[in-house]
Structure 1
Amino acid sequence: MASKNPSAYTKLMHKIAALLPEKSRAVFLHPAGPTTIFFWAPTFKWGLVMAGIGDINRPVENISLSQTFSLMLTGIIWSRYSLVIIPKNYNLLSVNAFVAMTNSYNFMRGLRHQVAK
């Protein structure tokens, strides 16, 4: 059962929101905005995208097909999920689309190398 008293964190976020311009306040307090885990979890997931981009320079023989395939599939599944949930989470959509794209590219590089052997 949820508490009827707002937490200290919630009170702090509303005080910060009161200092923001009106247009920014709605974004800040959005159910998938920066005051929630629904914003921060996808934001930190961008580290997977950076790792995938870094793997583009990795020698093709060192690419793990199972790892890149699972990340590619995860990116596709979670991209779809981000559009089905309420509220729609476009931050989650964007990070997972990029996870899927970077790992699709790396998977195809690795697969072509394995087939060419």
Structure 2
Amino acid sequence: MVFQVHFWAPTFKWGISIANAADFAKPPEQISYPQQTAVTVTGVIWSRYSTVITPRNLNLLTVSLAMAGTGFYQLSRKIRHDYFSETEPVASKE
């Protein structure tokens, strides 16, 4: 019996990558570490999986690489803002 990998799931995952790319204009303060970590790790894991299954699913590979890339870029924006920005932290008023 031959099993086929259905193409709708990877196709709908493009929505996550497109939404993540649309958030490039979002201020870094509003980026979520857990969300972007999940997007990045999911992209990496499914990229690997898409290359070892038979038959290889190139749609899943490309969308997963896009997810990993956009997630990694968002994480790098957040890390640069939180740890390497030149702005002084706001002192709390007591």
SS of residue in 2 equivalent to 1:47: helix
- Residue 66 of structure 2 is aligned to residue 110 of structure 1: no
Unaligned runs of 5+ in 1: 1-30, 33-37
Shift of 1:104: 0.4
Instruction: Compute the RMSD of aligned alpha carbons.
Output: 1.5
Shift of residue 82, structure 1, vs aligned partner: 0.3
Cα pair 1:65 1:111 within 8 Å, conserved:
no
Once the two structures are aligned, what percentage of the paired residues are identical?
Answer: 46
Q: Which runs of 5+ in 2 are unaligned?
A: 90-94
C-alpha contact (below 8 Å) 1:72/1:99 kept by paired residues: yes
How far is 1:69 from its partner? 1.1
Task: Report how many aligned residue pairs link the two structures.
Answer: 83
1:7-46 equivalence runs, <5 A = 31-32=4-5, 38-46=6-14
Higher RCO (Cα < 8 Å, 6 or more apart): 2
- Which TM-score applies when normalising by structure 2? 0.82
1:101 matches 2:75? no
Alignment of 1:85-96 (within 5 A): 85-96=53-64
CA–CA distance in structure 1, aligned partners of residues 68 and 21 of structure 2: 12
TM-score when normalising by structure 1: 0.67
Give the match for residue 59 of structure 1. Answer: 27
Instruction: Pick one of 38, 48, 54 that aligns with 2:16.
Output: 48
SS in 1 for 2:25: coil
